[in-house]
């Protein structure tokens, strides 16, 4: 039996025992929703960090395992919602990027998504990393700079160049198209 009261008092030994007892099961729970192992591991750490931060609020009669499962589920869903929102934001950015009208049908939308993916995949590996980190994953310039080991100015330049390249790429593919798209060639 886990003594939640001792955890509330700040017992590192009890926390370690809880971690040892539950971390595999909690990770498996997270992995059911999050297929990327590194992200699932990050969420696992967030769950146990949340346990530590909220240790004084947890009811001593409450099952800690159940609490961990509920928190892991909610944190996983929050991550997935953020990913969906990022996709919606990206979709809106793409629409703004190529001025898609609201009356375009689904086939045109699918074509545009395919074209955007092709443009992103045509970027240099480093610029693609910057674009994916900042635009698809929602990382700040500073976070992306830290991950890639470059300055924030370099991240800004790469992103600016990436967006310019994507605009030109899309323009070159749609130049002869019957779609009425206005694509700015400069930023």
Residues 10 and 77 in one domain: yes
Q: How far is Cα 69 from Cα 24, in angstroms, rounded to an integer?
A: 11
Mark whether 16 and 43 lie in a shared domain: yes
Q: Which residue has the tokens 């240099």?
A: 124
C-beta neighbour count of 69 within 10 angstroms = 17
Token reading at 30: 């997270």
Residue 105 domain flag:
yes
51, 81, 111 — which closes off a domain?
81
Tens digit of pLDDT for each residue in 103-154?
444 444 455 566 777 888 888 999 988 887 887 667 788 989 999 999 999 9
Instruction: Report d(CA 153, CA 156) in Å as an integer.
Output: 5
Q: Are residues 64 and 104 in the same domain?
A: no
pLDDT at residue 120 in the model: 80
* 63 and 118 fall within a common domain: no
Q: Note whether 50 and 77 are same-domain residues.
A: yes
Does the pLDDT value for residue 1 go beyond 80? no
As a whole number of angstroms, the distance between CA 58 and CA 102 comes to 49
| pLDDT the model gives residue 35 | 83
Verify that 71 and 14 share a domain, yes or no: yes
Model pLDDT for residues 166-181, shown as the tens digit of each residue:
777 777 776 543 332 3
Whether 48 maps to a domain, the answer reads yes
Packing angle of the helix pair 64-98, 12-33 (nearest 10 deg) = 50
Does the pLDDT at position 156 exceed 70?
Answer: yes
Contacts 24+ apart (CB under 8 A), 23-31: 23/48, 25/65, 25/69, 26/68, 26/69, 26/72, 29/69, 29/72, 29/73, 29/76, 30/72, 30/75, 30/76
Instruction: Give residue 57's domain range.
Output: 4-81
> Are 63 and 115 members of one domain?
no
CATH of the domain at 117: 1.10.10.10
Q: What distance in Å separates the CA atoms of residue 182 and residue 99, rounded to the nearest whole number?
A: 6
Q: How many domains does the chain have?
A: 2
Assign 141 to helix, strand or coil: helix
Closest to 94 in 3D by CA, of 71, 114, 113, 74: 113
pLDDT of residue 112: 58
pLDDT at 146: 94
> Given this model, what pLDDT does residue 118 score?
80
pTM for the full model?
A: 0.48
Q: For residue 124, is it left (φ>0), alpha (ψ between -120 and 50) or beta?
A: beta
């Amino acid at each position: 039996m886990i003594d939640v009261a001792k955890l509330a008092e700040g017992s590192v030994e009890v926390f370690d025992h809880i971690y040892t007892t539950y971390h595999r099961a909690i990770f498996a729970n997270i992995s059911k929703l999050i297929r990327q192992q590194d992200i699932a591991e990050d969420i696992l750490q967030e769950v146990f960090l949340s346990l530590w931060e909220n240790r004084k609020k947890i009811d001593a009669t409450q099952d800690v395992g159940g609490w961990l499962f509920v928190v892991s589920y909610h944190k996983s869903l929050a991550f997935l919602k953020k990913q969906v929102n990022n996709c919606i934001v990206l979709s809106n950015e793409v629409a703004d990027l190529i001025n898609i009208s609201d009356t375009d049908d689904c086939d045109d939308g699918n074509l545009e998504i395919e074209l955007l993916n092709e443009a992103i995949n045509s970027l240099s590996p480093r610029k693609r990393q910057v674009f994916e980190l900042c635009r698809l994953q929602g990382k700040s310039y500073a976070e992306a700079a830290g991950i890639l080991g470059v300055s924030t100015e370099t991240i800004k330049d790469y992103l600016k160049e990436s967006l310019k390249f994507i605009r030109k790429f899309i323009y070159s593919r749609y130049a002869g198209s019957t779609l009425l798209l206005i694509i700015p060639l400069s930023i």
